[in-house]
């Protein structure tokens, strides 16, 4: 083999080696990025409820059937935590072993850090008309934090005060 051919062959091998190393390094970076995302989502599932949200108050006053009372709601989202939430609400009859009453709904909101006090109607909170017959109830609420395509598997639950609906 002549000297020129030998040098050309060496350069081709070096280039092939560099390309292989580059492809291998790229593959490692991609695997590490995917592993990091998977692990981050895994750890998010294990974070306690208060990392996401603390519900300090969810109170509904006693009221007459057919009325739409105000719901007093206070929630705290810790600093450094902002996310979308989907929530589900169900009214449970406290006198019949917490069987669901058919008054249920859902909603969505962007949760920003801070201590927020809200006041809105029962129908607005539930997201539908909630006509409860006379009796005593609790609202069971479940929030599901969502960041991008990721959604927490376990809900953040909260049960309101017991409130009674009386006949008109």
Judgement on whether residues 35 and 67 belong to the same structural domain of the protein: no
SS3 98: coil
Whole-model pTM?
0.71
Domain that holds residue 37: 1-46
Domain count, the chain: 2
- Residue pLDDT, tens place only, 35-80: 656 556 565 666 776 778 889 999 999 999 999 999 999 999 888 7
Judgement on whether residues 113 and 135 belong to the same structural domain of the protein: yes
Q: Given this model, what pLDDT does residue 61 score? A: 96
Judgement on whether residues 58 and 132 belong to the same structural domain of the protein: yes
Phi, psi of 26 (to 5 degrees): -65, -40
How many helical (H) and strand (E) elements, i.e. helices and strands, does the chain have?
Answer: 3, 10
Q: Please give the DSSP secondary-structure letter assigned to residue 16.
A: H
Judgement on whether residues 65 and 94 belong to the same structural domain of the protein: yes
Residue 50: HSE in the Cβ half-sphere, 13 Å Cα cutoff: 1
Please choose, from the candidates 52, 49, 55, 51, the residue with its C-alpha nearest in 3D space to the C-alpha of residue 75. 55
Q: Given this model, what pLDDT does residue 89 score? A: 94
Judgement on whether residues 24 and 97 belong to the same structural domain of the protein: no
């Amino acid at each position: 083999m002549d000297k020129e051919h030998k040098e050309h062959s060496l350069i081709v091998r070096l280039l092939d080696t560099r390309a292989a190393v580059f492809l291998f390094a790229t593959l490692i970076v991609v695997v590490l990025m995917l592993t990091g995302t998977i692990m981050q989502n895994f750890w998010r599932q294990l974070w306690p409820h208060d990392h996401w949200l603390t519900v300090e108050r969810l109170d509904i006053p006693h009221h007459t059937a057919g009325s739409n009372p105000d719901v007093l709601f206070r929630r705290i989202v810790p600093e450094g935590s902002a996310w979308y939430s989907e929530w589900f609400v169900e009214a449970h009859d406290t006198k019949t072993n917490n069987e669901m009453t058919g008054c249920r709904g859902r909603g969505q909101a962007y949760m920003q850090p801070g201590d927020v006090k809200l006041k809105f109607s029962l129908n607005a909170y539930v997201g539908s008309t909630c006509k409860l017959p006379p009796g005593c109830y609790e609202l069971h609420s479940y929030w599901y934090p969502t960041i991008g395509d990721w959604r927490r598997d376990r809900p953040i639950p909260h049960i309101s005060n017991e409130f009674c609906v009386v006949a008109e």
